[in-house]
Structure formats: structure tokens, C-alpha cells
Amino acid sequence: MARITTSATVTAGSGLGPTTYIYAIATGTITTAAAAQAIATDPYFGTIASVEGTGDGEHIMVQGGAGGAEAISGVSLVATFNG
């Protein structure tokens, strides 16, 4: 169990630089490779920072870009961390 021993202030942010998006890739709708390629190109221009795995139904971490890749069929936004 975690314990808090200071009176630190919690603020939103990732500490990773630009806005970071976590996307879930739906199994059977789009492959992880196709989703990553779509997110990295026009109109999203995201930088693929991490991929959970190479199978279907994985998560992709994207830094920067325009956001909005949840408009791609089979891609769902899970979380956004402001930079």
C-alpha cells in the first residue's frame, strides 16, 4: 500500500515533453502496424513513443502531433497527458 509522507501538490502533466496520448487498438478492426502508420502521418503527425506489442489489441503511446487519432476506425483514446 502506498503512503504519502509529504504535502506535495499534485498537478496534471506527463513530464515527458509534448502532450502524450495513449491509444487502444481494437482487435480485428485494424492492426497495430496500420494504426501506428496512420497516427504518424497526415493529419495526426504523432511520434510513436512506445508500442505495447506487435499483436492485435495493443496500446500505442504517442507524443506530440495534432491528436484526434481516435477518429481512425478501431483506435480509441485511453488517456491524454498534457506536456
Q: Report the C-alpha gap between 75 and 6 in whole angstroms.
A: 39
Which residues constitute the domain of residue 41? 20-81
User: Is the Cβ–Cβ distance between 61 and 21 less than 8 Å?
Assistant: yes
The reply to whether 11 falls in a domain is no
- Given this model, what pLDDT does residue 5 score? 66
The reply to whether 1 falls in a domain is no
State the chain's mean pLDDT as an integer: 87
pLDDT tens digits, the chain, 83 residues: what are they?
556 667 767 666 656 678 999 999 998 899 999 999 999 999 999 999 999 988 778 999 999 999 999 999 999 999 998 87
The reply to whether 12 falls in a domain is no
Q: Report the C-alpha gap between 77 and 7 in whole angstroms.
A: 32
Q: Please name the residues in contact with 52: beta carbons below 8 A apart, sequence gap of 6 or more.
A: 58, 59, 60
How many other C-beta atoms are found inside a 10 Å radius of the C-beta of residue 83? 12
Domain count, the chain: 1
- Given this model, what pLDDT does residue 2 score? 53
Cα torsion for 11, 18, 80, 36, to the nearest 10°?
Answer: -160
The reply to whether 13 falls in a domain is no
pLDDT digits (tens, 9 = 90+) for 35-49: 999 999 999 999 999
The reply to whether 73 falls in a domain is yes
The reply to whether 58 falls in a domain is yes
